[in-house]
């Protein structure tokens, strides 16, 4: 969509190609025989609304279901993890897995997909904005999109993801 300034386009394309290659490797090694399930697709704390427990039907409610799709279970779990050091993420993951496995089996080898899924989400976000740029609401809502600064930040983020994709995946067992 010609949204990447020429000054940074080559660098972005190089970071993108390197990230995509590592993502493909992660998926090839992650769980080729994984079970695909129906999932939310954009499951993060901001897409959970809580109503008072004392009300009928009170408790958590998932919203923003426009990204629902078939995929590996880890797709709906990784965005629930906060940041922090590796040991903190492992503790968060252990708690999340304990709760998740009350409802559905989880194959631990899917954990190798987390950084690949994070990389794809970062790339997809920019593509989502570019595809909708002709909508008059988008330039007003996202005035920074298409700037050299935005794309420079995306390059740095993708480079950080390259390092994350190179690290040993989180493992519980």
Cβ atoms of 80 and 45 within 8 Å: the answer is: yes
List b or e across 95-128, with b for residues whose CB sees 16 or more CB atoms inside 10 angstroms: ebbeebeeeeebeebbbbbbbbbbbbebbeebee
| Residue 98 falls in the annotated catalytic set | no
Task: Give the HSE-up count for residue 68: Cα atoms under 13 Å, Cβ half-sphere.
Answer: 6
CA 171 to chain centre: 18
State the catalytic residue, choosing from 64, 76, 105, 166. Answer: 64
Let me know: does 165 contact 19? Beta carbons within 8 Å.
Answer: yes
Beta strands in the chain (DSSP E): 37-39, 48-51, 59-62, 69-71
Nearest to 161 by CA among 108, 124, 107: 124
Catalytic residue of the set 25, 42, 98, 105: 42
Is 42 catalytic? The answer is: yes
Q: Which residues are catalytic?
A: 42, 64
């Amino acid at each position: 969509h010609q949204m990447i300034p020429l000054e940074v386009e080559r660098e972005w394309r190089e970071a993108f190609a390197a990230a995509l290659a590592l993502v493909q490797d992660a998926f090839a090694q992650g769980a080729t025989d994984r079970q695909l399930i129906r999932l939310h697709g954009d499951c993060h704390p901001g897409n959970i609304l809580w109503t008072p427990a004392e009300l009928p039907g009170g408790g958590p409610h998932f919203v923003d279901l426009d990204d629902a799709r078939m995929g590996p279970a880890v797709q709906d779990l990784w965005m629930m993890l906060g940041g922090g050091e590796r040991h903190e993420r492992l503790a968060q993951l252990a708690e999340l897995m304990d709760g998740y496995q009350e409802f559905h089996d989880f194959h631990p080898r899917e954990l190798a997909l987390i950084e690949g899924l994070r990389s794809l989400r970062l790339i997809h976000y920019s593509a989502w904005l570019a595809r909708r740029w002709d909508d008059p609401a988008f330039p007003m809502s996202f005035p920074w999109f298409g700037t050299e600064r935005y794309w420079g930040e995306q390059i740095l983020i993708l480079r950080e993801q390259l390092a994350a994709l190179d690290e040993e995946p989180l493992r519980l067992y």
